[in-house]
Amino acid sequence: MSEVKFISPETLEQAVDAYYKSSKEGKTKILAGGTDLLVQIRSGISQPDTIIDIKNIKELKEISNDNGSYTIGAAVAGAVLDEEEDFGNNWPGVLEALRLIGSEQIQGRASLGGNLCNASPAGDSVPALIASGATVKVHGPEGERNMPIESFHAGPGKTNLKNGEIVVNFQFPKKQKCSGDAYLRMIPRTEMDIAVVGCAVNVTIENDKCVDARVALGAVAPTALLVEDASKALIGSNFEKEAVEKAALACEAACNPIDDKRGTISYRKKVSKVLFKRALEKAIERAKKG
Amino acid sequence: MNEMDNKWIGKNTIRPDGADKVTGRAEYAADTIMPGMIWGKVLRSPHPHATIKSINTKKAEKLDGVFSVATSADCVDFPVDTPVILGIQDIRWMARNVLAKEKVLFHGHPIAAVAARTEEIAEKACELIEVDYDVHPWAIEIDDAIKPDAPILHDFIKFDGKPSNIVGTLEHKKGNIEEGFKDADIIIEKEFETAAVHQGYLETHACLVSVSPDDKTIIWSSSQGQFMVRAMTSFITGIPQSSIRAIPAEIGGGFGGKTIVYLEPVATILSKKSGRPVKMVMTREEVMRASGPTSGSKSKVKIGAKNDGKITAAQGTFYLQAGAFPGAPIRGAAGCCLAPYDIPNAHTFGYDVVSNRSKVAAYRAPGAPIGAYAVECVIDEVAEALKICPLEFRLKNAAKQGTKAVHGPTYPVMGYVETLEACLSHPHYKAPLKKLQGRGYASGFWFNAGGESSAQVNITEDGNVVVTTGHPDIGGSRASIANITAELLGIDVNRVSVLIGDTASIGFSNLTGGSRVLFASALVVTESTNQVIDILKDRASKIWNIDKEAIEWENGQARPAGDNAGKFKPLTLVELAEKATPTGGPIGAGHQVNTVGAEGGFATHICDVEVDIELGIARVIRYTAAQDVGKAIHPAYVEGQLQGGVVQGIGWALNEEYIYNKEGKLDNPGFLDYRIPVCSDLPMIDTILVEVPNPKHPQGVRGVGEVPIVPPLSAIANAIYNAIGTRFYSLPMSPPKILEKISD
């Protein structure tokens, strides 16, 4: 039986240092909630020799609100964020996406940071984060940097993090007046499932006109996608049928899915259009409420 | 017994296993530990089909921490061409399924096993076992297995004179099928297919086995029959049954899948070779890859009817996957499919087809849902073509007492018509439907079984009762037996404790399967209890010094039958127990017999679905199951059986399927991608318990556990058609399949 070294640092610097050093020597994994990692270890997919638990690092567990701009620690669990009532009022789409990860029990552990770093193309919170316009702060041996969520992933299971870099927190823009976000996913069951297609929409409305829009898709390509053509089709429109249809077609065109046990290429493409329209409707409804 | 006077039969008494289960005290097989215990793991085939040229275990044996290694060379040798029948199983296949011998026949097929200090060491040692394979082409699907140049799994089995993967056939005939179709005004013929589906029991297979130096063997395991475990382990290891004591653990679901062994003989060999107790627990992935699902199928059904709605002829052909070894449940498909109907001319065929999949195991009414799916969908189409309500159409053709069934028997008293009438008068039948919602109907039948059962009823020294039977309780048999015993003895049900004996403490009892347990064990418990009452009267007669015949047993006490018998204060069970020693000794009686008279069960279901036509999702939004349950001894448990069967049927119809990849390996060996329904997928399943007592049983019991999984597949398919006007002929009706068909 191989032994696993378990490190539980209390500062970001210690964590980064340990991560950087141990990654050079062997296979190191970061542990937040562990809801993906433990399953991967158990099934033999991941066989780390070092595990770094980041749950004792203060910054990674913090939630702050600076005059409407939220910063959410990477290791904050879904259930904890759910209790932050005002966050849900600002970013209902992000919250509903995060809350779809696993069961009630898993929600006590699963985090935005873990979902992002697991880098599954089907991760539920990722499209919602992209649509929100949030950025992610990472800390590494060379210091801090910020990345837009949509450029975080390199492929299935792969990120653009450099050696020793750890995700610290998510920084959300101040929510625009009359804006709203929403996330919907298609699963064969009603819960406890993995997205066959996920779609997040974030729109801002002024005088019935769409003044800003961000559309993101999950599970239809090697990474979650920001569909800029869909945004373009919506911005400036009154959400008239033609504009929505054009945006839906942009979603379909952006899909680059695979045929697998969870769905066919043609199914995923069709569903991306439907989910976009439904998520848009929900986002508009929320935006109109303020 | 006058039903109105029943105090316990028909009451929802508290489950005797309830407190232990909700507090986590219930002991499942994986909870068992022993001093000195070591862990066993199985090496499984990486190929779907290969000849084993050699197995070298030397490196594994030398690994530090390894105690023993087992291969088929350690098992009794059963020549491959000589049947060794045990119940519905053949031990020559069972032995080869437990540890592969000449060939590996599916990806995940066990080849060898290691016992070591820890599970991790055992796993590592498995990787050190060197197997030299001659890899063969494989066949997974039925079409690939029966085509002319298919790779043959067992070349000594012949069909039509040639080696074939069709390894068994079955036929039922009645009347003249050609004449029957000639008489028909309308004939509809359709083809269907279903995917292999797993029972999905939550508790994975587990056992702990300890073999002493003189071969005395104790097995703790999770199974549907401790006597089955004893017999199969004895066959495969050569240890006589008298030396094996199989102790049934509390069971976390079986649904038929635990009616055969996987681990117990292996752990026995490993324990015997190491001298240590050996524990083995399967992972979910091992369960999915290597334990029995039920068959996938292909079928064709043709039904002809007159314009007046009378069916004149019906024909059905069913090809069922057996997995790696013969034994697909073709009798359930070809035998049950037409059972609800009085059809003058009929012909059904079943074909047992092997392919490079794990060996199928029983699953709740094995084969019957497959047969009913095809027949009940065609029935729906015929009724539609004749413009008759599908329930009225079934009523017009319903089998009744005296009907000669296509599968042989002439029916006794039975309640099929009553289930149809119950549905017709239920509010669900007339409830309004919205757009994209639809309603479907289907009926179903299961044989139900009797068989061997033993019971012992003992009065404790303090005047309470302990009943021991020999069947693992997977559907409420302990609660029901407690109700019956309390009723017969006229005492409070809490004074009756019902235990499941191990193979050394109770007589042979056949396994829990075929919906047989309450039917059979209620019979032997009733007989035993009546003997106990007779003994109690005898003891009272000694105390009062009057004739036993002058004593009656009522409300838990002996009393003089009338004034002529004399005036004595009644003697309670407690008082008689106190006086047991001077009046003749311990009070108890047992009975063991091969029970007969189990009668079939019928059900009719109503299902509403709503279809999201943009995403292709069908959801069941309302469901009502009517079933002839004979007599519901514990109604809540009976309802639970009906609801559970329906839920598994919903999973089978909508999402569950074994998906194989291009390498012939199962691609979804876990609950994430093998989608059994979760609670939020389901509506409350309403039940109608129709009680037409079985006249051949003292309490009127009929088996209830299997019938409810028979109708749902077609009830749902028919409801989807009713909702969106498209018929589906292939299961599961999963979202991509639905969307693809309706977008065409």
Q: What is the pLDDT of residue B744?
A: 75
Mean pLDDT confidence for A115-135 = 97
Q: What is the pLDDT of residue A1?
A: 43
Q: Which of residues 596-655 of B touch A (CB under 8 A)?
A: 614-617, 619, 654-655
Of A155, A171, A187, the last residue of a domain is A171
| Interchain CB distance below 8 Å, A271 and B121 | no
Indicate the average pLDDT of chain B: 97
Give which of B452, B416, B449 is closest to B701, Cα–Cα.
Answer: B449
Question: What confidence tier does A97 reach under pLDDT thresholds 50, 70, 90?
Answer: very high
Q: Residue A272 is part of a domain; what is its CATH number?
A: 3.30.390.50
Provide the 3-class DSSP secondary structure of residue B648. Answer: helix
- Same domain for B69 and B96? yes
Distance, CA of A23 to CA of A17 (rounded, Å): 10
- Same domain for B346 and B444? yes
Q: Does B264 score more than 80 pLDDT?
A: yes
Q: Which residues of A touch B659 (CB under 8 A)?
A: 261
Q: Which residues of B touch A258 (CB under 8 A)?
A: none
* Number of domains observed in the structure of chain A: 3
- Same domain for B510 and B565? yes
- Same domain for B645 and B517? no
Of A148, A171, A194, the last residue of a domain is A171
Of A53, A70, A88, the last residue of a domain is A53
Q: Which residue segment(s) compose the domain that A281 sits in?
A: 179-288
Indicate the average pLDDT of chain A: 95
Q: Render pLDDT for B235-244 as a digit per residue (tens, 0 to 9).
A: 999 999 999 9
| Interchain CB distance below 8 Å, A188 and B617 | yes
Q: Please tell me which of the candidates A188, A191, A270 has its beta carbon nearest to residue B734.
A: A188
- B127 to chain A, any CB pair closer than 8 A? The answer is no
Q: What angle do CA A195, A196, A199 make, to 5 degrees?
A: 70
Angle of helix B226-237 relative to helix B91-98, nearest 10 degrees, comes to 80
A49 to chain B, closest Cα gap in Å? 15
* Secondary structure of B289-344 in HEC code, one letter for each residue: HHCCEECCEEEEEEEEECCCCCEEEEEEEEEEEEECCCCCCHHHHHHHCCCCECCC
Q: Which residues of A touch B738 (CB under 8 A)?
A: none
| Interchain CB distance below 8 Å, B735 and A196 | yes
Give which of B603, B615, B597, B556 is closest to B712, Cα–Cα.
Answer: B603
B286 to chain A, closest Cα gap in Å? 12
Interface test with B, best of A47, A184, A220, A270 (most B CBs within 10 A): A270
- B2 to chain A, any CB pair closer than 8 A? The answer is no
Q: Render pLDDT for B151-174 as a digit per residue (tens, 0 to 9).
A: 999 999 999 999 999 999 999 999
Provide the 3-class DSSP secondary structure of residue B658. Answer: coil
- B285 to chain A, any CB pair closer than 8 A? The answer is yes
Q: Render pLDDT for B670-708 as a digit per residue (tens, 0 to 9).
A: 999 999 999 999 999 999 999 999 999 999 999 999 999
| Interchain CB distance below 8 Å, B668 and A261 | yes
Cβ-Cβ pairs closer than 8 A, A with B, add up to 53
Sign, Cα dihedral of B8, B11, B14, B15: positive
Q: Does B558 score more than 80 pLDDT?
A: yes
- Same domain for B418 and B506? no
| Interchain CB distance below 8 Å, A267 and B735 | yes
Assigned token pair, A44: 């033999």
A58 to chain B, closest Cα gap in Å? 34
CB B142 within 8 A of CB B296: yes
DSSP for B41-78 reads EEEE-SSSSEEEEEEE-HHHHHSTTEEEEEEGGGS---
Q: Which residues of A touch B680 (CB under 8 A)?
A: 189-191
CB B471 within 8 A of CB B453: yes
Mean pLDDT confidence for B474-494 = 97
The interface predicted TM-score (ipTM) is 0.94
B622 to chain A, closest Cα gap in Å? 16
DSSP code, position B151: P
- Same domain for B478 and B549? yes
- A267 to chain B, any CB pair closer than 8 A? The answer is yes
- Same domain for A199 and A128? no
DSSP for B411-457 reads P-S--HHHHHHHHHTSHHHH----TTEEEEEEEEEE----EEEEEEE
Q: What is the pLDDT of residue B502?
A: 98
- A199 to chain B, any CB pair closer than 8 A? The answer is no
Helix (H) or strand (E) holding B143: helix B142-146
Question: What confidence tier does A25 reach under pLDDT thresholds 50, 70, 90?
Answer: confident
Whether residue B578 is contained in a domain is answered as yes
Find the residue in A nearest to B667 (Cα).
A261
* Helical H segments across A144-259, by residue range: 228-234, 241-254
CB B269 within 8 A of CB B29: no
Q: Which residue segment(s) compose the domain that B416 sits in?
A: 293-448+599-743
Mean pLDDT confidence for B68-92 = 96
- A194 to chain B, any CB pair closer than 8 A? The answer is yes
Residue type, A46: S
> Which stretch of A101-105, A211-215, B50-54 has the lowest confidence by average pLDDT?
A101-105
Helix (H) or strand (E) holding B716: helix B712-724
- B46 to chain A, any CB pair closer than 8 A? The answer is no
Mean pLDDT confidence for B563-569 = 89
Q: Residue B234 is part of a domain; what is its CATH number?
A: 3.90.1170.50
- Same domain for A112 and A183? no
- Same domain for B226 and B315? no
Dihedral, CA atoms, B651, B655, B660, B661, nearest 10 degrees? -160
- Same domain for A257 and A167? no
- A44 to chain B, any CB pair closer than 8 A? The answer is no
Q: Does A223 score more than 90 pLDDT?
A: yes
- Same domain for A49 and A65? no
Length of chain A: 290
Interface test with A, best of B615, B662, B681, B733 (most A CBs within 10 A): B615
Of B267, B290, B313, the last residue of a domain is B290
Find the residue in A nearest to B65 (Cα).
A1
* Number of domains observed in the structure of chain B: 3
- Same domain for A115 and A67? yes
- Same domain for A273 and A197? yes
Q: Residue B316 is part of a domain; what is its CATH number?
A: 3.30.365.10
- A137 to chain B, any CB pair closer than 8 A? The answer is no
- Same domain for B662 and B522? no
- Same domain for B361 and B223? no
Q: Which of residues 10-39 of B touch A (CB under 8 A)?
A: none
- Same domain for A264 and A211? yes
- A186 to chain B, any CB pair closer than 8 A? The answer is yes
Q: Render pLDDT for B301-331 as a digit per residue (tens, 0 to 9).
A: 999 999 999 999 999 999 999 999 999 999 9
| Interchain CB distance below 8 Å, B655 and A188 | yes
DSSP code, position B208: E
Assigned token pair, B636: 């809540």
Interface test with B, best of A1, A3, A185 (most B CBs within 10 A): A1
3-state helix, strand, coil in chain A (%, to 5): 40, 25, 35
- B683 to chain A, any CB pair closer than 8 A? The answer is no
Residue B126's φ and ψ, nearest 5 degrees, are -60, -40
Q: Which residues of A touch B672 (CB under 8 A)?
A: 193-194
- Same domain for B509 and B394? no
Strand partners, B41: B114
Q: Which residues of A touch B743 (CB under 8 A)?
A: 270
| Interchain CB distance below 8 Å, B675 and A189 | yes
The helices-and-strands tally (H runs, E runs) of chain B is: 21, 32
Whether residue B156 is contained in a domain is answered as no
Provide the 3-class DSSP secondary structure of residue B181. Answer: helix
Strand partners, A148: A135
- Same domain for A113 and A21? no
Q: Render pLDDT for B491-534 as a digit per residue (tens, 0 to 9).
A: 999 999 999 999 999 999 999 999 999 999 999 999 999 999 99
- A105 to chain B, any CB pair closer than 8 A? The answer is no
- B64 to chain A, any CB pair closer than 8 A? The answer is no
- Same domain for B232 and B110? yes
Distance, CA of A213 to CA of A217 (rounded, Å): 14
- Same domain for A109 and A202? no
Q: If you compute the radius of gyration of chain B from its CA atoms, what whole number of angstroms results?
A: 27
Q: Render pLDDT for B591-619 as a digit per residue (tens, 0 to 9).
A: 999 999 999 999 999 999 999 999 999 99
Residues ≥6 apart with Cβ < 8 Å to B387:
none
- Same domain for A43 and A88? no
Placement of tokens 């009267």 in the chain: B537
Q: Does B246 score more than 60 pLDDT?
A: yes
Assigned token pair, B605: 């279901």
Mean pLDDT confidence for B529-543 = 98
- Same domain for A81 and A109? yes
Q: Render pLDDT for B567-588 as a digit per residue (tens, 0 to 9).
A: 999 999 999 999 999 999 999 9
Strand partners, B190: B301
Question: What confidence tier does B3 reach under pLDDT thresholds 50, 70, 90?
Answer: low
Q: What is the pLDDT of residue A44?
A: 85
Question: What confidence tier does B734 reach under pLDDT thresholds 50, 70, 90?
Answer: very high
| Interchain CB distance below 8 Å, A193 and B120 | no
Q: Residue A40 is part of a domain; what is its CATH number?
A: 3.30.43.10
Q: Which residues of B touch A248 (CB under 8 A)?
A: none
Q: Does B124 score more than 90 pLDDT?
A: yes
Question: What confidence tier does A2 reach under pLDDT thresholds 50, 70, 90?
Answer: low
Q: What is the pLDDT of residue B4?
A: 64
- Same domain for B310 and B368? yes
Whether residue B153 is contained in a domain is answered as no
Of B239, B271, B290, the last residue of a domain is B290
Placement of tokens 């530090």 in the chain: B64
Question: What confidence tier does B564 reach under pLDDT thresholds 50, 70, 90?
Answer: confident
Q: Render pLDDT for A155-211 as a digit per residue (tens, 0 to 9).
A: 999 999 999 999 999 999 999 999 999 999 999 999 999 999 999 999 999 999 999
Q: Please tell me which of the candidates B121, B614, B743 has its beta carbon nearest to residue A1.
A: B121
- Same domain for A39 and A118? no
Of B595, B628, B647, the last residue of a domain is B595
Provide the 3-class DSSP secondary structure of residue B370. Answer: helix
